[in-house]
Structure 1
Amino acid sequence: MTKDEVRARLRAKREAMSVFAVEGAAANLAEWMYRLPMPVGEGETIGCYLPIGSEPGSDAMLDALIDQGFRLIVPVVPDGDPQPLHWAAYSLATPLETRRWGLVEPKSESLGPGALADASVIFVPALAVTHGGARLGRGAGYYDRSLPASRAVRIAIVYDDEVLNDLPVEPNDVPMEWVLTPEAGFRRLDG
């Protein structure tokens, strides 16, 4: 199967999930944020996305990270053709707006693409990830353009049945080091 075919299948499966299943998974993911598998000091920067629709997670997982004293940055999609993501500081009081592709982003000032270099950990959205670390995203390549500028530990967040044995991979795909799923929690990948 091509990447687009796999994406279509995975999106359809997510869209068929019940609200109860999505909310239950989101609650579990927020709880897992209190059990990071690597040391991260108070005040250190963590990058995380703001989930939309049936994407795994909710703002509760970001709230859990803030609760532990971490500085959070979230992605901002720049105008124009795909390029590295920009980042903005996120707090419980950050005003949000729906922007390009229905993504929720802070109304606050962009910190630019270089802000990711300060992150110790980055939680990356994915449609699927393999046991070896290959990640399948939405297809525009924003994260694959952004992640090489950072030494942050890369953690993909997916549903438990989206950790697969194989995915189509391209040379510019940036591998993940860990996966976080609602039921199994954090797992180190073999990549």
Structure 2
Amino acid sequence: MSKAGLRADFSNRRAQMTREFRENAAEQLVKRLSESPFAISGETVGAYVPVGSEPGSVRFLDILAELGATVLLPVVPDGDPAPLNWVAYDPSSSLERRRWGLLEPAGGPLGVDAIDIASVIFVPALAVDAAGVRLGRGAGYYDRTIHRTAAELVAVVYDHEVVDELPGDPHDIPMGWALTPGGGFRRLG
């Protein structure tokens, strides 16, 4: 199946998930942070604000901050797809709805290079395979952003979205880990 077909298939499956299922999965992801194979306290961690049926929650971000991490969140640049900008997450300030209806932090942008100091980056994905190939939404924002990082890259997906094999392209940046509600952290590759 093509990447476009797979994106449609995984997106349709997510659209059929009940709110209760998504909320339970989000809470399980928060609990999985206690099993992190990486240091969180005192580290800079990249994360994202989930949109629609993406796995995760703002509570996940709050817990990262409570654990002592500096949490960086992406801001989608105007125009054509380009590297993401980053803003430090402050749990006491609000998130604003911006481009494509995404919730983004209200603080000042730190620049596209700010993510370079992160030790872990939680990356949204529609699916990931055992080799670390990540299926994103198709615009390439994350691949343009994380291509030079030394951070541990963690695809955050639902349990059924860790699959044996996905089609990949040379520009796809492989994930080293998957994080799922039921399975927790799983090494890939």
Into which bin does the TM-score normalised by the smaller protein fall? over 0.9
Provide TM-score, normalisation by structure 2.
Answer: 0.97
Provide the residue aligned with 2:177 in structure 1.
178
- Per-residue CA deviation, residues 106-154 of structure 1 (Å, 9 max, x unaligned), is 1211111000011000000000000110000010000000012311100
The question of whether the paired residues in 2 share the 8 Å contact of 1:114 and 1:149 is answered with no
Task: Give the count of matched residue pairs.
Answer: 189
RMSD between aligned residues: 0.9
Provide the residue aligned with 2:64 in structure 1.
65
Provide the residue aligned with 2:33 in structure 1.
33
Provide the residue aligned with 2:3 in structure 1.
3
Q: Which whole-Å CA distance do the structure 2 matches of 1:30 and 1:62 have between them?
A: 9
Q: Which whole-Å CA distance do the structure 2 matches of 1:13 and 1:31 have between them?
A: 24
TM superposition outliers: structure 1 runs of 4+ over 6 Å: none
2:140 counterpart of 1:141:
yes
Residues 62-71 or 31-40, more deviating: 31-40
5+ residue gaps, structure 2: none
- Per-residue CA deviation, residues 85-123 of structure 1 (Å, 9 max, x unaligned), is 000000211221111122110121111100001100000
Secondary structure of the residue that 1:145 maps to in structure 2? helix
Identity %: 52
The question of whether the paired residues in 2 share the 8 Å contact of 1:85 and 1:146 is answered with yes
Provide TM-score, normalisation by structure 1.
Answer: 0.96
Secondary structure of the residue that 2:87 maps to in structure 1? strand
5+ residue gaps, structure 1: none
The question of whether the paired residues in 2 share the 8 Å contact of 1:180 and 1:187 is answered with yes
Provide the residue aligned with 1:56 in structure 2.
55
Displacement of 1:168 after TM fit? 1.3
